[in-house]
Amino acid sequence: MKELLLHLTRQLVDKPDEVSSDWTEENDTVKVLLKVAEEDKGKIIGKQGKVIRALREVVSAVAAKTNKKVLIDLQ
């Protein structure tokens, strides 16, 4: 799940070396703090939030197989 999110994010940005994430797990919820370069934030958010929404859906689908919920925040 972590590798999938990082791989997808690195493919979308201009500075893939600056992509990182912090994962915190509480019970059945996983909180992800996704960090990208300041100039790449717009690419991750996308028009009307479509790109970040798609990333959330893909990762949530993978997490559902393990009965977990994923919350992704962009920093």
Read off the tokens for 73.
Answer: 């925040």
**pLDDT bucket at 59, cuts 50 / 70 / 90:** very high
Give the pLDDT of residue 50. 97
Q: What is the CATH number of domain 2-74?
A: 3.30.300.20
Structural domain boundaries of the chain? 2-74
Give the pLDDT of residue 61. 94
With a CB cutoff of 8 Å and minimum separation 6, the contacts of 11 are none
Q: What is the DSSP string of 24-47?
A: EEETTEEEEEEE--GGGHHHHH-G
With a CB cutoff of 8 Å and minimum separation 6, the contacts of 24 are 30, 31, 32, 33
**Which residue do the tokens 């939030």 mark?**
49
Tens of pLDDT, residue by residue over 8-47, are: 999 999 999 999 999 999 999 999 999 999 999 999 999 9
Give the pLDDT of residue 11. 96
